[in-house]
Amino acid sequence: MADKQASVFIIDVGTPMGDCHNGRVQSDLDYSLRYVWDKITTIVAASRKTWTVGVIGLRTDETRHIDSIQDEAGYENISILQEIGPMTMSSLKDLQAVIKPSNTETGDALSAIVVALQMLSTFTKKLKYTRRVYLITDGTAPIDADGMDQIVEKADEDGVEVIVLGVDFDDPEYGFKEEDKPTQKKHNEALLKDLVSRCKDAHFATIAEAIDEVDNPRIKTTRPYKTYDGLLTLGDPKDPKHPSPMSIHVERYFKTKLAAPPSASTVVVKSGQQTTQSQHLDGEEMEGIEGITNFAAVKQARNYKVDDPKAPGGKRDVEFDSLAKGYEYGRTAVHISESEWNITKLETTKSFSILGFVADDKYEPFLSMGESCMTVASKYDERSRLALSSLIHALYERSSYAVARIVLKDGKDPLLVLLAPCVDPDFECLYDVPLPFAEDVRSYQFPPLDRVVTVTGQTLTNHRLLPTDELSFAMSNYVDAMDLDTFGKNDNGQPAEYAPIDESFNPVIHRINQAVRDRALKSNGKIEPIPPTLVRYATPPEDLIAMSKREINSLIEAAEVKKVPPKAKSKRKRETVKPLSGLDVDALLDAQPKRPRLVTRDNAIPEFKQAVSSAMDMEHIQEASKQMGEVIRGLVTDSFGDSLYARALEAMSVMRTELIELDEPDIYNAFARDFKKRLLAGELGGDRREMWWKVRTSRLGLIDQTQSELSGVTSEEAQEVCETQSSCHCVRLASLPPFPSRSAMHLPLGQRMRKLTRPSVSQSKVAKSTRCNDFTVLLK
Amino acid sequence: MADRGEYKREGDEEPEEEVDESDYKTQKDAIILAIEVSDSMLEPPPASGSKKADKDSPVQAALKCAYQLMQQRIISSPKDMMGILFFGTEKSKFHDEDGRGGLGYPHCYVFIDLDVPAANDVKALKSLVEGADAYEHDDDDEYEFLKPAKERVQMANVFFCANQIFTTKAANFGSRRLFVITDNDDPHPSDKSAKSAAAVRAKDLYDLGVTIELFPITQGDGSFDLSKFYDDIVYRDTGGEGNLTEVRSSKSGDGLTLLNSLISNINSKQTPKRALFSNLPLELAPGLRISVKGYNVLHRQTPARNCYVWLDGENPQMAIGETTRMAEDTARTIDTSEIKKAYKFGGEYVYFSPEEQKVVKDFGSPIIRMIGFKSGASIPFWASVKKSTFLFPSEEDYVGSTRVFTALWQKLVKSRKVGIAWCIVRTNANPVLCAVVPSRESSGEDNGTPYLPAGLWLCRLPFADDLRDGPAGGCDSAPVCASDDLVDKMRVIVQQLQLPKGTYDPTRYPNPALQWHYKILQALALEEEVPGKPDDSTEPKYRAIGKRAGGYLQEWDERLREETKTVLGTRKFKRELEDDDDGVESKPAKRTKTASAKPSTSGMTDAELRFAVASGSHNKMVVAGLKDLLVSRGLSSAGKKADLIERLEEWAEESI
């Protein structure tokens, strides 16, 4: 909003504010400041020059405010801590430093309000501003009620909102009453309440209530955005013979628009500061600075390359200015000269026209393609207002929606929207949502849910994939029991919808805002947990669950759902490898003449898969893996530029997945280490660093313990091996993680193999270096 | 300010669309169409008198279908590959560069090699489709490759040929499919070893990750018996959905041409079924989880972004852009490792370490958790912010998921209810609230969306943060209500202008801007004449509207005129009264100037404002008042007073 704001906070910093009361462990001042900081940081976060803040300290040790009244009696111990002005991070830091409990016990709150009003009137003059004065006090210092009338008059005349927030003030509405209240405080509370009741726009509350508000997300309001302003037509108004009379002047506004969570910017530590800061700053402060100030924004620059077989690396840079604009048609580049650039654009003129009407019960919410808008008649055009009203009511009475084509501006692409009537006693409009075009609907085929069709074409209604009557019954009861339509409560305590849209807040937006504000105030503070209001709808309401216990249990019983243990997943897949006829192709394979090699380059992937799945012993798997490794290295060696990299990567990925499933991660890991070594040493046909980069980005590095229990590699190690920077990968090769001892590898595969335990650490340590050598030899 | 925000936000949403990071394979699709060439495939249907009768031979129909498919794929998935392979031909041809020539795969003819289609491929296919007459009479050498071989082709060779094409051209594509179009259900009737060899090669394809889709063609009353051969070739859908999708054969008849029947069968398999997320737990109740997959069945198709073309070489070439980052203060180039993420706050940056970032954004692991159920009617029409995701059960993580999912679906359909769910669909995805809405069985009578599959949909609900206020002061006065008579007149019009079947059927409305864009591009790429006028089926059918409702519209208009007059009359009267009241109330002196200017500006009608501008009194208005006037008319309120006045004058000129 383009509104201008000026707020003055009067903060009581008298000595008693430093004490703790009513069982709190925070001092009254710190407690109250939670509210103040929240307000102020919200303003800082907005970084708006027109949102201004002034701060006055009440009961400060010194007196320093407006010259003209500074020396008058009754105006002592009031200080302007910050003149009204925009808030920044640094002014926030300054304020934090000066707002501390003082050694003073007196100071007149009403005088402080006078100072605040004076500041406001000087700063805002007669301009359009939202003016506010916040008074935060514990009300323990004497207040002189003289001149209250003038204060009220001044506040009303200038249009200032006065907000009085008292520490432990009584508030029957909120339900708070302080026992054994000192007389002075009682007196002051009454006095301030009286002030508030006499002002036109003023509020009085106990600070606890205000602090409660802090945790409630506040929604950033955006000025209504008009997406279209023009005619809504039915029929052709430009028809030469019978022009259609229906053209209504309308305005269309956003109804919903996704609010984006604050996004983190990409920054970099400012150069030259890293080394100097520690010299002149001490511990805590340094961290503060580090967390906040010395970052520089990052800019992006684009440069363009084309393929050139003659250039090193097969690519060369081209000047941006020498490039023509164009589009891709398949893999053909079609360039279009600047003067003809609009040739592919459909010529359109701004319009909003109705195509026809549909029945509202044929529409389903999942058909909508995005954000909704609302259309109202132009405000000052009576004819249009009447005309639109008749359309809205006609649609409503006929239970119909309208399909319309809208072009927001001349030259914009047409969109189809569905218009629905909204008839409220005090508001009428047409809501609309965007509809899909023919190209936007993908024809995916899914089997029917409520029946099973067998291979022979029979339809079954009784099957493990279909619910039993018992399950359907239990589900029906459960769904009915968990009804939210009346589970919530409205303000009057009547049953109402639970989790209505206007009470559900985007958790991410408010979570990040909260964390950023906290961090701005305390740069080294811990991250606070997520406020419960943000995750209120993450789980079903507990009461409802408790009430529906019986339905839940019978549903679980009837469902008989079983979790598939993670291990079994891969094995299950293996069984199903048969064509529709169930023909045993593996048997056919065995019957074929033995091939000289297990894995050849031409048909590497199928052959490798078939070789390992039919492998009877460990040696067979090792042999297949060894040959697969050869194929992969061969592909890389023979690759012209990156022409064969994709094949090599695919082969690696198959090898990796298969070996994970066979519980032989170490075979792959040994291959990968050796492969990297050779790649970087240039043994595979020159500079192949790009290939390794692709291995990394395709996540084909070492198999770590999170991917296979039997891997001896931690994820940190796997990560490290992936880095290309290290010049000492040979050293690391020597500290290879343990693998199963060689003798174990000769054991026949099968049930017993899976039961094998890993060699103990000490054992493996001893044998490490020799084994490592063995393996490299094996893979050569 | 607000305006600029809108544009910026569009880009920010992108990360949400990311595909699962753990899936490293390129999410691209490669299709080889393998079309059998034989005497029966080349034979046109028996001539019949009817104009609409089928004239295409199966091969012709397949080629036309391929041509259409290729054009569609250039639009819908510009990065995907396609190739065309004829088998059973006299001639043989494999990759040009491969030394082996046609020797390895006799009677297999690679017509278009597997690649992203180029303009030349489209051209070649087009000329083949259009020159159809020529190759039917065996006199043209140009189409010699469409001559059937004298001996039978070995299906094993066909499969291995496809294997080699996929292996070399689309090595690590996420989806690779071989579409076999044939009318021969038994290619090796008496040759058992050829049959086994084919089965073995088919298994190779399966192991390679290639799916074989069969498009059988039957003629007359003939049938295509899968059990003779293809049951050994085709594998079960690896999706693990348990149910089989039937193999439908294409044929001419029932008013449908062979071409249409084939197109509809191939279209249903056109886009590979890519899951948006797989095996996501759906927590139906505490202690009851099933697993589901999500699909983007609806997806807004837009023209591909423009690119930069380098023209100085032999052939025009696409230039590939690369981004380098540099520090704003020193303009030095930055390594990725130096980059940090920080939030802007009050003009400065607030920094979180990557670990802290994780803590801030951690709302738990991916899940769809039902928190209860509401009636479908309780979800307002406007509660929409994004396209919805289709959910389908998967048995992979929880056995029994399908039956529980089905029970839920049936209950929701029957009781017209929707689930409300808290959803985190991927690791690190932002949590959102969704309505879980059932779609009905497509054959159902009252189903308004027969073109969408039956199952459950995740419809994202707006948060309070996503709601926008209506027009400023839109609710200041009670709405002007049309009389019952006027509404009745409009009702007749609404009734007269129902769309077919009273539903919106998207298949009737191709996106005109998208179609035009590619139509022009195609013409440019193929160096053809640029078409003159676009087809736009989204334009209202003015003639039909005029015919069916023209008279009613006139009646409505007459009535509207009368009512407008009455309303204006009473309005004027009222306003005078109000003005009088105002005058009495705001008598007390002093603040006269501003006080009288203020109320009148915000409530000024267009006519009054135009008058004010004409008389020059708008110069005396205060800035705040001018801004109100501008904002309420949808104009920008930025700038100095002189700018505002100028803008107002412009408005007055234009709005007359």
Q: Which of A1, A273, A328 to mutate to test the interface with B (most CBs of B within 10 A)?
A: A328
Q: Please compute Rg for chain A using Cα positions.
A: 37
> In angstroms, rounded to a whole number, what is the distance separating the alpha carbons of residues A708 and A713?
9
What is the predicted pLDDT for the residue at A32?
A: 92
Q: CB distance A322–B312 less than 8 Å? A: yes
Interchain CB contact of A366 with B (< 8 Å): yes
Instruction: Pick the more confident residue, A390 or B54.
Output: A390
How many other CB atoms sit within 10 Å of the CB of residue B453?
21
In chain B, DSSP finds a helix count (H) and a strand count (E) of: 17, 17
Interchain CB contact of B542 with A (< 8 Å): yes
What is the predicted pLDDT for the residue at B21?
A: 33
Please give the C-alpha separations between residue A454 and each of B241, B243, B321, in angstroms, as whole numbers: 13, 8, 52
> In angstroms, rounded to a whole number, what is the distance separating the alpha carbons of residues A169 and A181?
9
Write the residue in B284, B346, B556 that is nearest to A47 by C-beta. B346
Instruction: Pick the more confident residue, B135 or A539.
Output: A539
| pTM for this prediction | 0.79
Pairing relationship of beta strands B367-375 and B275-285 according to DSSP bridges: parallel
A151 membership: H or E segment, kind and range: helix A148-158
Residue A256 pLDDT > 50, yes or no? yes
Instruction: Pick the more confident residue, B607 or A145.
Output: A145
Instruction: Pick the more confident residue, B104 or B181.
Output: B181
What is the predicted pLDDT for the residue at B8?
A: 32
Residue B176 pLDDT > 60, yes or no? yes
For B:217-256, CB contacts with A below 8 A are: 226-227, 230-236, 241-246
Confidence of residue B33 (pLDDT cuts 50, 70, 90): very high
Write the residue in B322, B465, B568 that is nearest to A505 by C-beta. B465
Average pLDDT for A316-327: 84
When mean pLDDT is compared across A89-93, A383-387, B614-618, the lowest value belongs to B614-618
* B123-137 b/e (C-beta count within 10 Å ≥ 16 → b): eebbebbeebebbbe
> In angstroms, rounded to a whole number, what is the distance separating the alpha carbons of residues B72 and B80?
11
Write the residue in B309, B414, B561 that is nearest to A326 by C-beta. B309
Domain spans in chain B, listed from the N-terminal domain onward: 26-272, 277-300+361-466, 606-655
Q: And the tokens for A360? A: 């509202």
Percent of the residues in chain A that have a pLDDT greater than 90, as a whole number: 36
Average pLDDT for B79-107: 76
* Distance in Å, alpha carbon of B616 to nearest chain A alpha carbon: 21
Residue B189 pLDDT > 60, yes or no? yes
What is the predicted pLDDT for the residue at A232?
A: 95
Confidence of residue A417 (pLDDT cuts 50, 70, 90): very high
Average pLDDT for A238-260: 90
The residues, any chain, with a CB within 8 Å of residue B442's CB and separated by 6 or more, are B450, B451, B452, B453, B454
Interchain CB contact of B308 with A (< 8 Å): yes
What is the predicted pLDDT for the residue at B102?
A: 46
Q: CB distance A334–B525 less than 8 Å? A: yes
Interchain CB contact of B367 with A (< 8 Å): no
Q: CB distance B286–A413 less than 8 Å? A: no
Burial class (CB in 10 A: 0-12, 13-18, 19+), A570: middle
Question: According to CATH, where is 1.25.40.240 located in chain A?
Answer: 585-722
Third-level CATH fold of A5-214 = Rossmann fold (3.40.50)
For A:189-228, CB contacts with B below 8 A are: 217, 219-226
Which ipTM did the prediction report?
A: 0.80
CATH 3.90.550.10 assigned to domain A585-722? The reply is no
Q: CB distance B383–A346 less than 8 Å? A: no
The crossing angle, in degrees rounded to 10, of helices B354-361 and A507-521 is: 140
Mean pLDDT across chain B:
80
Average pLDDT for B198-202: 90
What is the predicted pLDDT for the residue at B382?
A: 95
Write the residue in A299, A504, A515 that is nearest to B464 by C-beta. A504
Chain B residues close to A253, C-beta within 8 Å:
468, 470-471
What is the predicted pLDDT for the residue at B467?
A: 92
Residue A402 pLDDT > 90, yes or no? yes
For A:598-627, CB contacts with B below 8 A are: 602-607, 609-610
Q: And the tokens for B78? A: 């510009």
* Distance in Å, alpha carbon of B286 to nearest chain A alpha carbon: 8
CATH 2.40.290.10 assigned to domain B277-300+361-466? The reply is yes
What HEC string does B553-601 produce? HHHHHHHHHHHHHHHHHHHHHHHHHHHHHHHHHCCCCCCHHHHHHHHHH
* Distance in Å, alpha carbon of A648 to nearest chain B alpha carbon: 8
For A:740-779, CB contacts with B below 8 A are: none
Residue A385 pLDDT > 60, yes or no? yes
What HEC string does A475-500 produce? HHHHHHHCECCCCEECCCCCEECCCC
Give B386-410 pLDDT, tens digit per residue. 999 999 998 888 999 999 999 999 9
What is the predicted pLDDT for the residue at A770?
A: 37
Chain B residues close to A589, C-beta within 8 Å:
200, 203
Instruction: Pick the more confident residue, A636 or A223.
Output: A636
What is the predicted pLDDT for the residue at B469?
A: 84
Residue A714 pLDDT > 90, yes or no? no
Question: According to CATH, where is 3.40.50.410 located in chain A?
Answer: 5-214
Give A151-198 pLDDT, tens digit per residue. 999 999 999 999 999 999 888 888 888 888 888 999 999 999 999 999
CA angle, A579 as apex, A576 and A584 as ends, to 5°? 80
Residue A419 pLDDT > 90, yes or no? yes
Chain A residues close to B205, C-beta within 8 Å:
606
> In angstroms, rounded to a whole number, what is the distance separating the alpha carbons of residues B538 and A355?
8
Mean pLDDT across chain A:
82
* Distance in Å, alpha carbon of B137 to nearest chain A alpha carbon: 33
Helix (H, G, I), strand (E, B) or coil at B343: strand
Instruction: Pick the more confident residue, B101 or A676.
Output: A676
What HEC string does B479-520 produce? CCCCCHHHHHHHHHHHHHCECHHHCCCHHHCCCHHHHHHHHH
> In angstroms, rounded to a whole number, what is the distance separating the alpha carbons of residues B183 and A390?
60
Confidence of residue B333 (pLDDT cuts 50, 70, 90): confident
Q: CB distance A391–B490 less than 8 Å? A: yes
Q: CB distance B207–A221 less than 8 Å? A: no
> In angstroms, rounded to a whole number, what is the distance separating the alpha carbons of residues A643 and A694?
13
Chain A residues close to B511, C-beta within 8 Å:
413, 437-440
Confidence of residue B443 (pLDDT cuts 50, 70, 90): low
Confidence of residue B466 (pLDDT cuts 50, 70, 90): very high
What is the predicted pLDDT for the residue at A680?
A: 86
What is the predicted pLDDT for the residue at A771?
A: 36
Instruction: Pick the more confident residue, A581 or A730.
Output: A581
> In angstroms, rounded to a whole number, what is the distance separating the alpha carbons of residues A404 and A417?
5
Percent of the residues in chain A that have a pLDDT greater than 70, as a whole number: 86
Confidence of residue A270 (pLDDT cuts 50, 70, 90): confident
Q: CB distance B471–A271 less than 8 Å? A: no
Size of the A and B interface in Cβ pairs below 8 Å: 851
Interchain CB contact of B349 with A (< 8 Å): yes
The residues, any chain, with a CB within 8 Å of residue A743's CB and separated by 6 or more, are none
Which of A305-319, A463-477, A566-580, B243-257 shows the highest mean pLDDT? A463-477
Average pLDDT for B443-462: 85
What is the predicted pLDDT for the residue at A519?
A: 87
Q: CB distance A563–B525 less than 8 Å? A: no
Side-chain half-sphere exposure of B37, counting CA atoms within 13 A: 29
Q: CB distance A487–B474 less than 8 Å? A: no
Average pLDDT for B479-505: 90
Which of A177-181, A766-770, B287-291 shows the highest mean pLDDT? B287-291
Q: Which of B126, B406, B626 to mutate to test the interface with A (most CBs of A within 10 A)?
A: B406
Third-level CATH fold of B26-272 = Rossmann fold (3.40.50)
Which of A300-304, A689-693, B162-166 shows the highest mean pLDDT? B162-166
Q: CB distance A443–B487 less than 8 Å? A: no
Residue found by looking up tokens 């498919």 in the block:
B69
When mean pLDDT is compared across A231-235, A638-642, B67-71, the lowest value belongs to A638-642
CB B260 within 8 A of CB B347: no
What is the predicted pLDDT for the residue at B289?
A: 94
> In angstroms, rounded to a whole number, what is the distance separating the alpha carbons of residues A297 and A571?
51
Q: CB distance B503–A362 less than 8 Å? A: yes
Which of A99-103, A335-339, B634-638 shows the highest mean pLDDT? A99-103
Which of A390-394, A495-499, A617-621 shows the highest mean pLDDT? A390-394
Average pLDDT for B62-76: 88
What is the predicted pLDDT for the residue at A593?
A: 64
> In angstroms, rounded to a whole number, what is the distance separating the alpha carbons of residues B21 and B427?
9
Dihedrals phi, psi of A243, to nearest 5 degrees: -65, 135
* Distance in Å, alpha carbon of A310 to nearest chain B alpha carbon: 13
Is B25 in the active site? yes
Tell me the torsion sign for CA atoms A184, A190, A193, A197: negative
What is the predicted pLDDT for the residue at B170?
A: 87
Instruction: Pick the more confident residue, B5 or A54.
Output: A54
* Distance in Å, alpha carbon of B180 to nearest chain A alpha carbon: 16
Residue B9 pLDDT > 60, yes or no? no
What is the predicted pLDDT for the residue at A734?
A: 34
What is the predicted pLDDT for the residue at A522?
A: 82
Question: According to CATH, where is 2.40.290.10 located in chain A?
Answer: 225-437
Residue B89 pLDDT > 80, yes or no? yes
Interchain CB contact of B456 with A (< 8 Å): no
Residue found by looking up tokens 């009754």 in the block:
A74
Confidence of residue A301 (pLDDT cuts 50, 70, 90): confident
What is the predicted pLDDT for the residue at A288?
A: 38
Give A581-626 pLDDT, tens digit per residue. 777 777 777 666 666 678 888 889 998 988 888 777 788 888 899 9
Q: List the CATH code of the domain at A225-437.
A: 2.40.290.10
Which of A147-151, B136-140, B218-222 shows the highest mean pLDDT? A147-151
Give B560-574 pLDDT, tens digit per residue. 999 888 887 776 665
> In angstroms, rounded to a whole number, what is the distance separating the alpha carbons of residues B294 and B282?
11
